[in-house]
Amino acid sequence: MLIVLTSEKPLTNEAEQINNLFKAGLEILHLRKPTFTIDGYRALLDQIDAKYHNKIMIHQFPELTIDYNLRGIHLQEQARLDLEDALEVTAKIYTNKGFAVSSSFHSKEDIKNCSVDFEYVLLSPVFGSISKAGYKGKGFDVTDLDAFVIGMGGVNEDTLQATFDLGFKGVGVLGGIWNTEDSLESFLKINKVNSQLVK
Give tens-digit pLDDT for 132-141. 666 678 899 9
pLDDT of res. 199:
63
Please state, for a pLDDT cut of 70, what percent of the chain lies above it. Answer: 96
- 173 contacts 4 by C-beta, under 8 angstroms: yes
Q: How far apart are CA 90 and CA 109, in angstroms?
A: 22
Domain that holds residue 88: 2-198
Neighbour count for residue 66 (Cβ, 10 Å): 11
Domain count of the chain? 1
Burial of 45 (0-12, 13-18, 19+ CB in 10 A): buried
Query: pLDDT of 16-72, one tens digit each?
Result: 999 999 999 999 999 999 999 999 999 999 999 999 999 999 999 999 999 999 999
pTM of the model: 0.94
- pLDDT per residue over 151-161, tens digit each? 999 888 889 99
CA 28 from centre of chain: 7
> pLDDT tens digits, residue range 92-101?
999 999 999 9
Percent of the chain with pLDDT over 90: 83
CATH number at residue 78: 3.20.20.70
pLDDT at 128: 81
Across the chain, the runs of DSSP E, i.e. the strands, are: 2-5, 28-31, 56-58, 72-75, 100-105, 120-123, 149-152, 170-173
Query: Is the pLDDT at 7 greater than 80, yes or no?
Result: yes
In this predicted model, what pLDDT tens digit does every residue of 43-57 receive, in sequence order?
999 999 999 999 999
Nearest Cα neighbor of 89 from 75, 76, 70, 78 is: 75
